[in-house]
Structure 1
Amino acid sequence: MLRTHRQGRHPRRRRPDGHLRPHREEHRPGQLPPPRAAHRRTAHARWRRSRRQDRRRARARHGLRRSPRHRRLPQGPHRAAAPLLPHLQTDAGREGARSAHRRGVRSRRGRRGAPPQPAGLPRILRAARGPRRRARAAPGTRVRPPRPELLRAIGRWSLAGLVLNSIIGSGIFGLPSVVAGLLGRAGIFAYLIAAAGIGVIMGCFAEVASQFREAGGPYLYARTAFGRLVGIQMGWLAWLVRLTASAAAANLFVVYLAEFWPQAKEPLPRAAVLTFLVGILAAVNYRGVARGAQFSSAFAVAKLLPLAVFIAVGLFFVGQAGPAAPVATTAGAWLEAILVLIFAFGGFEAAMMPMAEAKDPRRDAPFALFVGLVVCAIVYTLIQLVVQGVLPSPAGTDRPLAAAARQFLGPSGAVLLTLGALISLYGYLSGQTLNAPRLTYAFADRGDFPAFFAAVHPRFRTPHVSIVAFAALVWALAMGGNFRWNVTLSAVARLFTYGLVCGALLVLRRKQPEAAAFRLPFGRGLAVLGIAFSLVLVSRMGRNELLILLATAAVALLNWSWVQRRVSDTSSRSPY
């Protein structure tokens, strides 16, 4: 009946003009079929309403008609205006899963729950607009590709390995005889005092380093806290120390190697050995920071193994040397011994230079410094205990570890310790080859050095120019340099580095009080204590130290004047 009525065959359905009349109640409702169920009517109405909303949104999205939702949007200071090009905006109403199949909308594949994205203009509008063309630069202009950035690939334990490699070098193999000559049996307590003093300085380093994610280390800290001139001064001191210390380590490696191969001291074999040693490290670090960090971590473990064997076996022979002759100790002897041990614990600041390639530098730097301090304090103290307990007069030899190992391990013990010295030297050199180029990279990245030092390899993501320059300078200095002034330069640089970083903690707590990821307990008091500790050690400087400090300050001042002149020239050429 309803179908007959809708088709117009009902006698009252057709009007005189031929059009159909709407259905009314008087059209014999008893003959009509029953209406649809309530739930079916509701579902059908919801479907029709969604279809109407889809059509409205599609028209509004393509600019054909503004949707009612946009027309009813109140304009005011708390409500945003409708977008000028709605078809380029993401509609909040398209977040449902049902809208992903509508015309003009494509869904994001591979991301569950992600809202669908607009597919762009309709096909007819795209045809009228014409084919898309890639934007081209104006004639005579060069489009520079984006600059590659350093890759964060140094993990927490790799950073701890860098700290160990930067601290443990060749000094520990001759240090016990120096301390025993100054203090005798009381030398063990000097290690504990030096570890406590360096722990205060390391704590200041940990808080300051946890505020930065960039490369540079002490140069960056001093530059941020005290300005560009002080930062350049600190950077030059740190770079010269890294350069000369690495060259001295390479030269000393050849000296130790000559005990197994005497021809290594000859000019041609010596040049070949140095080229091979420095070239291997440069190539490894050139091809990726992850490889360089793994190489350094492997040598950090390898250099600890001979020392662990020496300690584990030597502790059973402590006391066989008998009572040692008493040594008259004075305040000056204690101060000198602590100064020597401070330098033995030093070098950890170099591991803070490649922070731009650490995975989580603000949290990993304090952890790595703590691990390095604990391991070195335990190893150094136990080595001094074994040497003093095995040798009757440890101050009478310049190689106390080899002499003590010969007492309880025989000739093979001396060979083991000599191999340990070779591994320790090469591990130190590998750590510096990774650390030091990041200092010149940070210099150039902030405009304080020629820009090519900040170049990053597009494939390996390493500062390849700085790595090659550092390796070439180390090789040249190792071939013909004199390293008598290296100890003096290291002393000056470390004392000023430690004092300035402790002062930087006080300044940065005032400048950026919430920036540190690690906050040192009683930090202000410990920073003042670290500054006082550094000043006491500075009081031991002589004429040579002051001359080297003045020469480095003159070089840094020339660098600073060059930077200022370049900045002024750039600002004068600017049209603004």
Structure 2
Amino acid sequence: MADDSKTGLVPVIGRWTLAGLVLNSAIGSGIFGLPSLVSEHVGRAAPLAYLFAAVGVAVIMACFAEVGSQFREAGGPYLYAREAFGRFAGIQVAWAAWLVRLTAAAANTNLFVTYLAEFWPAASGGLSRFLAITLVLAVPVAINYRGVKSGARMSNIFVIAKLIPLTFAALLGLVFFQGGLSIPSGGALSSPSINSWMDAILVLVYAFGGFEVGLFPMAEAKDPRRDVPFALLIGFVVMLAIYLLVQIGVQAGLQSPELSSRPLADAAGNLVGRWGAVFITVGALISIYGYLGAMMLNVSRLTYALAEQKDFPSFFGRIHPRFRTPYLSVLMFGIFVWALALAGSFRWNVTLSAVARLLTYAATCGALIPLRNKAPELRRFRLPAGKWIAIAGVIFSVTIATRMDRTALAILAVTLLIALANWAMVKQRA
């Protein structure tokens, strides 16, 4: 738990950089396809779904603010579950967290290449696709291999760069929007059912998700007790504002957003012409690439933490003698993402990401109470009515999980079985 002990890593990440990591980890490619998915479930009432989802996400993030503020070690939700519930739970959450990031990063890599094909059509298949995926991943791997300052600087640059086209899309919507938030009459979407609202919220939980990855490199944070709540608050407010305004913008430019596979670009094209669509497409490429850079920095710290706790092969914990980074964790993450991007599909990767994410959220919310009981005097950010908020977070996560299909649940079951096998091997070596 939180202390000033030496970890071998350099504490150079400040509060604004941490906020940037939270934003960059959450705002990936989802925002560029999100409006279509939400509109598919609830029509032009989609902005209301953002507000409903925001309530549940705020509860979860509040739990992360307290739990995350009391740790200096790297690891995020894995570490929280291990401290609160024991080694078995920690390994289960670790596998879920690592696999969701691998597949989410792979999905984003494929989507980057899909957008890239707008300017380089050959990138959509064959050798060109192979080369594009390899180059897309090689740069952030190299940057984060060399040092955390370089990786964090890359994250900050892409946070600023990605917000420009997203702000443009949101402002277009505010200028041109005339449709209101009303539900259209007639058709299947005219009166969304409870299940439709829950499906929309599930999509939005995935869209807001990823913020927790920004908390992985706590061993390199300057002051987690102060900076974690700040970073999560800034991340939540900015994400909600951007997502809500972008949805309104899309509904201003498209009569039926659910029919578009590139809703932001298509809406901009309808509102201001071809140059608007190109501008948004470039913005999508920037956003996705920034997301990948943040993943390389943050998720490699998860496997580093696992190795430190002897819950993962020891070589993942090796620190580079010159750059002082967990270089093998960076390399292994890049290699696995590269393989999944070449072999897997976007839909499969997204499904696994959503399933595993809810598991880590429920575990972290549930960890708040036992962590308070274990160390009541520990200096931390203390959430008012924290125990009740933690219970609400668990209930919300489980309730949303009931909307997952059988394939997603089957993938989660396989993931947990792999984690069980890993735990058995660790226990046998102990």
Q: Same fold (TM over 0.5)?
A: yes
Q: CA RMSD in A?
A: 1.7
1:319 aligns with 2:182: no
Which residue in 1 is equivalent to 2:211? Answer: 348
**In structure 2, do the counterparts of structure 1 residues 374 and 367 end up closer, same or farther at CA, with 3 Å as the change threshold?**
same
Which residue in 1 is equivalent to 2:87? Answer: 228
Matches within 5 A, 1:91-130: none
1:239 aligns with 2:98: yes
Query: Hey, what's the Cα distance between the residues in 2 that align with 1:153 and 1:323?
Result: 48
After the TM superposition, which parts of structure 1 deviate over 6 Å for at least 4 consecutive aligned residues?
320-324
Q: TM-score, normalised by structure 1?
A: 0.71
Which residue in 1 is equivalent to 2:51? Answer: 192
For residue 414 of structure 1, what is the amino acid of its counterpart? A
Aligned-residue offset at 1:458:
1.4
Is the Cα–Cα contact under 8 Å of residues 47 and 244 in structure 2 kept in the other structure? yes
For residue 251 of structure 2, what is the amino acid of its counterpart? Q
For residue 36 of structure 2, what is the amino acid of its counterpart? S
Is the Cα–Cα contact under 8 Å of residues 215 and 442 in structure 1 kept in the other structure? yes
User: Which has more radius of gyration?
Assistant: 1
**In structure 2, do the counterparts of structure 1 residues 394 and 502 end up closer, same or farther at CA, with 3 Å as the change threshold?**
same
**In structure 2, do the counterparts of structure 1 residues 281 and 339 end up closer, same or farther at CA, with 3 Å as the change threshold?**
same
Q: Which of 249, 263, 268 is matched with 1:386 structurally? A: 249
Query: Hey, what's the Cα distance between the residues in 2 that align with 1:266 and 1:186?
Result: 37
Larger displacement relative to structure 2 (461-470 or 488-497): 488-497
Which residue in 1 is equivalent to 2:196? Answer: 333
For residue 51 of structure 2, what is the amino acid of its counterpart? L
Which residue in 2 is equivalent to 1:109? Answer: none
Q: Which of 412, 425, 441 is matched with 2:288 structurally? A: 425
1:166 aligns with 2:25: yes
Q: Secondary structure at the match of 1:215?
A: coil
Q: Which of 344, 349, 369 is matched with 1:506 structurally? A: 369
| Cα shift readout 1:257-304 (whole Å, capped 9, x = no counterpart) | 111011222422222222222111111101110110000111011111
Which residue in 1 is equivalent to 2:278? Answer: 415
Aligned-residue offset at 1:323:
8.2
1:492 aligns with 2:355: yes
Aligned-residue offset at 1:148:
8.0
Aligned-residue offset at 1:207:
0.1
Query: Hey, what's the Cα distance between the residues in 2 that align with 1:266 and 1:284?
Result: 27
1:258 aligns with 2:114: no
**In structure 2, do the counterparts of structure 1 residues 332 and 148 end up closer, same or farther at CA, with 3 Å as the change threshold?**
closer
Aligned-residue offset at 1:213:
0.3
Query: Hey, what's the Cα distance between the residues in 2 that align with 1:392 and 1:169?
Result: 25
Alignment length, in residue pairs? 421
**In structure 2, do the counterparts of structure 1 residues 216 and 266 end up closer, same or farther at CA, with 3 Å as the change threshold?**
same
**In structure 2, do the counterparts of structure 1 residues 279 and 522 end up closer, same or farther at CA, with 3 Å as the change threshold?**
same
Is the Cα–Cα contact under 8 Å of residues 208 and 516 in structure 1 kept in the other structure? no
For residue 267 of structure 1, what is the amino acid of its counterpart? G
Q: Which of 469, 472, 480 is matched with 2:343 structurally? A: 480
Q: TM-score, normalised by structure 2?
A: 0.94
Which residue in 2 is equivalent to 1:527? Answer: 390
Which residue in 1 is equivalent to 2:107? Answer: 248
Matches within 5 A, 1:145-156: 149-156=8-15
Q: Secondary structure at the match of 2:336?
A: helix
Which residue in 1 is equivalent to 2:297? Answer: 434
Aligned-residue offset at 1:477:
1.8
Is the Cα–Cα contact under 8 Å of residues 82 and 90 in structure 2 kept in the other structure? yes
**In structure 2, do the counterparts of structure 1 residues 517 and 293 end up closer, same or farther at CA, with 3 Å as the change threshold?**
same
| Cα shift readout 1:195-251 (whole Å, capped 9, x = no counterpart) | 111001000000000110000000000000000011000000100111111111111
| Cα shift readout 1:485-539 (whole Å, capped 9, x = no counterpart) | 2222112211111111111001111111122421111111111111111121122
Q: Secondary structure at the match of 2:151?
A: helix
Query: Hey, what's the Cα distance between the residues in 1 that align with 2:299 and 2:181?
Result: 46
Is the Cα–Cα contact under 8 Å of residues 282 and 471 in structure 1 kept in the other structure? yes
**In structure 2, do the counterparts of structure 1 residues 498 and 266 end up closer, same or farther at CA, with 3 Å as the change threshold?**
closer
**In structure 2, do the counterparts of structure 1 residues 324 and 537 end up closer, same or farther at CA, with 3 Å as the change threshold?**
closer
Q: Secondary structure at the match of 2:347?
A: coil
Q: Which of 140, 161, 167 is matched with 1:302 structurally? A: 161
Aligned-residue offset at 1:390:
3.0
Q: Secondary structure at the match of 2:118?
A: coil
- Percentage identity across aligned positions? 57
Q: Which of 273, 278, 294 is matched with 2:132 structurally? A: 273
For residue 375 of structure 1, what is the amino acid of its counterpart? V
For residue 203 of structure 1, what is the amino acid of its counterpart? A
For residue 273 of structure 1, what is the amino acid of its counterpart? A
